Structure 1
Amino acid sequence: MKLVVLGLSLSSSWGNGHATTFRALLKAFAARGHDILFLERDVPWYRDNRDVTDPDYCRLEYYADLAGLARWRQEIANADAVMVGSYVPEGVEVARFVQAHARGATAFYDIDTPVTLAKLERGDFEYLSPEVTPGYDVYLSFTGGPTLRRIEREYGAPAARALYCSVDPDAYPPLELPKRWDLSYLGTYSPDRQPTLERLLIEPARRMPERRFVVAGPQYPADIDWPANVERIDHLPPAEHPAFYAASRYTLNVTRADMIAAGWSPSVRLFEAAACAVPVVSDIWEGLDSLFTPSEEIVLARTTDEVVALLSSDAEAADMGRRARARVMHGHRAADRAAELEAHFAEAIEARAEPLAVAAL
């Protein structure tokens, strides 16, 4: 299969989780024998922070603007499938271009589904609009559960299918390292995640000055009052994530409000941390217990008191981390998602062919 992907970024993981998601998925998809071209909008904030420039599993090319995208018209037309990701700059115009020229199956890969739907409800068509949604043969959603039927019913998507994030186990192995922190968090600043971070990490740090904490990620405001025992790391490249997790007794998963409301929206960090065999403390949302068994493979926490009690306990966390890794290795690897993606494209290609076959009778 020849696949063209237009995504937010493959080259830079700075301030986004899309890059590691695409890297894991496309590496595994290429391993199944497929040919991939990734087209990335050349923007300064990613250009200045690139940590992948020459991937060995796909061609990575850049375009400066919509006019520059025209250079790739023939590649898009000749592809068996074309996939456009969420948050692609001028994504609605990109969708129109792809839908006008692609002769193969077209897909929208939404790595931000609840955020996308909330934007559509507000009339914010930054990268997707009700006009172009039905023009995609398949809507691949970061969110599963009831949201899939809503996408079909309210926005006219011909087929909405779950395609959760995943992890490349080779890139996120378990490591044996001394524990530097009792609780860590890795994630870009988000205003709607900050209250949970405050409740489940910052306030426990204030109450437990003898314990050590860390928050890694960019864009945190300068006026946040960090306790003295909370270390700050502004940006952590993906290659350093396994060592970061391995140095953590527990790591925290914090979910955006729109994703909590929708449920069934696991972040890529959840799978990456678990693949490193590090026990995860997570906020709570519907569908999470279908991915990890609470109290056996993951810790669910609502309050500061619960986190303080956990960190005060001498309970052995390593066994939980190993169980979480085993769960990820049976269903949430990039190889598993690549097989699902191939099946979704095959379904879309078959659906496109059916009207042509009927017309030929």
Structure 2
Amino acid sequence: MKIAFYGSSLVSSYWNGAATYYRGLLRDLAARGHDVTFYEPDAFDRQQHRDIEPPDWARSVVYPATEEGLARVLAEARHADAVVKASGVGVFDTELLEGVIRNGASHAIRIFWDVDAAATLDEMRGQPDHPLRATLKQLDLVFTYGGGDPVVEAYRGFGARRCVPIYNALDPATHHPVAPEPRFSADLSFLGNRLPDREARVEEFFLRPAASLPDRSFLIGGNGWQWKELPANVRHLGHVGTAEHNAFNCTPLAVLNVARDSMADIGFSPATRVFEAAGAAACLITDAWEGIELFLKPDEEVLVARDGQDVAEHLRALTPARANEIGEAALARVLAEHTYTLRGAQVDAILAEEVGQMRSVA
């Protein structure tokens, strides 16, 4: 099957947390024989901060963020068997959505792939004229980054024919244990860009424990934090490329996951960082959200914190031996149940079902 995928970026994780999700899923689909083309705009300096060169398992098309560039890549949709518009491209989102519906071939499966479903649904609830509300019934499928039954029910309530969560996962060829690096040494590390719907939770779950444990060391990576006043025992790294994520996760005593507000509220939405950390056998501390036990078992494979005080208490009690035990258990769990090979098989089966249904109708 020829797949035309219109997303934010495949080659750069710069201001693009979905990069490893795209890579893991599309790499597996390509290995199953699908012909994947990924279209991404030259925007937000992503091309100047590439983590990888165009892979051999997908055709990478970078287009100018102009109306002419948009028209050129949308014209190619007619050659695909499945056309995918991902959420959060950042430029021409409405035009891309309408374009894949309009330009897709008559036999093509039309898909909206939502990598921030909770936020998208909030927008649709508040905007009766939201472009996605007007086009959902013209789509064959909605895939989401997560969200479980609440997201599925909400999308179906807005008119989606079919909605299926395709959760984040681990690509063990990319994320795995490595030797520690001294520059990533810390008692607790956090990696994530500074975003409005995450900042308050980072203050509670990361900066508050840092302030309460002045004798412990903390490390924060990601864009935007250089303009934030940080406690003296917090070091800021700036953008950390995906090639360094393994060492970033393997080196500290523990790493922290902090969900964005909407994902924490709706639950069932493990971030990419959860599986990257588990894949590196890191000891993960996560803020509490509904459904965590479906992915990692609290107190055995992950430590769960209700607030910053819980994070501080976990750190006070944590020994290197205990951290290693939790990390190894998490690695075993994700290798058994949460790899992109398993997620790719799920997507592949759904696409086959859609093709079969279209043929039976025809």
Query: Which residue is 2:206 aligned to?
Result: 201
Residue 343, structure 1, aligned to residue 345, structure 2: no
* Gap runs ≥5 in structure 2: none
Matched, 1:269 2:273: yes
CA–CA distance in structure 1, aligned partners of residues 229 and 347 of structure 2: 43
Contact 1:279 1:321 in 2 (8 A): yes
The count of residues paired between Structure 1 and Structure 2 equals: 353
Residue type of the alignment partner of 2:22: F
1:107 is matched with which residue?
111
User: Shift in Å at residue 69 of structure 1?
Assistant: 3.5
Structure 2 residue 142 is matched with structure 1 residue 139: yes
Contact kept? 2:3, 2:83, Cα under 8 Å: yes
Matched to 1:355, the amino acid is V
Q: 2:225 aligns to what SS in structure 1?
A: coil
Match of 1:163 among 166, 170, 175: 166
Using the TM superposition, give the Cα deviation of residue 75 of structure 1 relative to its aligned residue in structure 2, in angstroms: 3.6
Structure 2 SS opposite 1:108: strand
**In the TM superposition, what is the alpha-carbon distance from 1:91 to its structure 2 partner?**
2.1
Structure 1, unmatched stretches of 5+, are 357-361
SS in 2 for 1:76: helix
Change (3 A) 1:67 1:133: farther
CA distance in 2, matches of 1:44, 1:201: 27
Asked whether 1:91 is paired with 2:93, we answer yes
**SS of alignment partner, residue 92 of structure 1:** helix
**Which residue number corresponds to residue 245 of structure 1?**
249
- Any conservation in 1 of the 2:121–2:154 contact (CA below 8 Å)? no
| Structure 2 residue identity aligned to 1:188 | N
Change (3 A) 1:295 1:231: same
Which deviates more from structure 2 when the two are superposed, residues 289-298 or residues 203-212? Answer: 203-212
Cα displacement string for residues 285-327 of structure 1 (whole angstroms, at most 9, x for unaligned residues): 1111111111111111013332222212254111111111111
Paired AA for residue 121 in structure 2: L
How far apart, in 2, do the equivalents of 1:274 and 1:124 lie? 40
SS of 1:70's partner is helix
Among candidates 330, 333, 338, match of residue 332 of structure 1 = 338
Question: 1:27, 1:57 within 8 Å by CA — same for their partners in 2?
Answer: yes
The aligned counterpart of 1:359 is none
| Deviation string, structure 1 residues 117-172 (Cα, Å, up to 9, x no partner) | 1111222878x52011221111001122221022012x211100011122211111
**Cα distance change, pair 125–295 in 1 and its aligned pair in 2 (3 A):** farther
Identity of aligned residues (%): 33
> Which is worse superposed, 133-142 or 66-75?
66-75
Letter in 1 for 2:220: V
The structure that is helix-richer by fraction is 2
Between the aligned partners of 1:246 and 1:238, the Cα distance in structure 2 is 13
AA aligned to 1:12 is S
Aligned residue number for residue 19 of structure 2: 19
The alpha-carbon deviation at position 97 of structure 1 amounts to 1.5
Question: Which residue, 274, 278, 284 being the options, matches 1:280?
Answer: 284
User: 1:248-299: CA deviations, max 9, x gaps?
Assistant: 1111110111111211111111111111100111111111111111111111
Determine if the alignment matches structure 1 residue 42 to structure 2 residue 37: no
Q: Which amino acid aligns with 2:79?
A: N
Aligned-residue CA RMSD in angstroms? 1.8
Q: Which moved more, 1:66-75 or 1:89-98?
A: 66-75
Query: Does structure 1 conserve the Cα–Cα contact (< 8 Å) formed by 2:201 and 2:260?
Result: no
Once residues 195 and 34 of structure 2 are traced to their aligned partners in structure 1, the CA distance between those partners, rounded to angstroms, is 36
1:211 maps to which residue? 216
Q: Tell whether the 8 Å contact from 1:38 to 1:59 is kept in structure 2 after alignment.
A: yes
Stretch moving more, 2-11 or 192-201 = 192-201
Letter in 2 for 1:241: H
SS in 2 for 1:324: helix
Return the TM-score normalized by structure 1.
0.92
